[in-house]
Structure formats: C-alpha cells, structure tokens
A = this chain, B = another copy of it.
C-alpha cells in the first residue's frame, strides 16, 4: 500500500481516543466506574467499598468530572455521583466481558 492510499486518523481523533482509553487504563478508575454503573454513590461510600482514601477517590472523581464521564447531585453535605457517559461504560463492560470469558 502506498503512503497516499492510507486512511489516516485525524490527530484530534487520536487524541480523543487516547484520552478515553487512558481513563479506562487505571484499576482504580475501572472500579469506580464499574461501581457507579451499578448504583449512584457518595464519595465516602466509594472510598469504603473500594478501600481507598477519601482523598484518592476525590482526586479521581475530579478527573472523571472534568472529562464528563460522571455527574453528581448534592443532598445536604453529601454528593451523589453517577455515570454520565454510556459509551465509555459500554467499552468498559465489553472489555470486562471479554476478559471473563476467555
């Protein structure tokens, strides 16, 4: 195949795709997203269930928020987080499914 016959990816596309997969590449974020795909959770609950510090969870949620992968609603002092990107959850669940059945 000649150089000029390749279908190249736009660099913007490559950056976007890389960004999505970077999020999903970390075990902690996999756990958080999987948990949030099952139920809305407050921060402390996530920290307890996943046995992580409140700070570590909050930092990760901050990142997921910036990337619009999660959203939250406030109830008094408590913030309830949930998933806000079905496509990313779909990619995650496919990878989980594949890993568990091979």
Which residue numbers of A lie inside 8 Å of B, CB to CB? 1, 3, 6-7, 9-10, 13-18, 20-22, 24-27, 30-31, 34-35, 38-39, 48-49, 87, 90-92, 94-96, 98-100
CB neighbours (8 Å) of A35 from chain B are 6
In contact, B31 and A27 (Cβ under 8 angstroms): no
- Quick one: copies of this chain in the complex? 2
CA distance A30 to B17 in the complex (A): 8
Given contacts A21-B25, A25-B18, A30-B14, contact A7 B98 (CB under 8 A): no
In contact, A17 and B49 (Cβ under 8 angstroms): no
Out of B3, B13, B22, B94, name the residue touching A49 (CB < 8 Å): B3
CB neighbours (8 Å) of A14 from chain B are 27, 30-31
Question: How far is the CB of A100 from the nearest CB of chain B, in Å?
Answer: 6
In contact, A21 and B95 (Cβ under 8 angstroms): yes
CB neighbours (8 Å) of A6 from chain B are 35, 38, 49
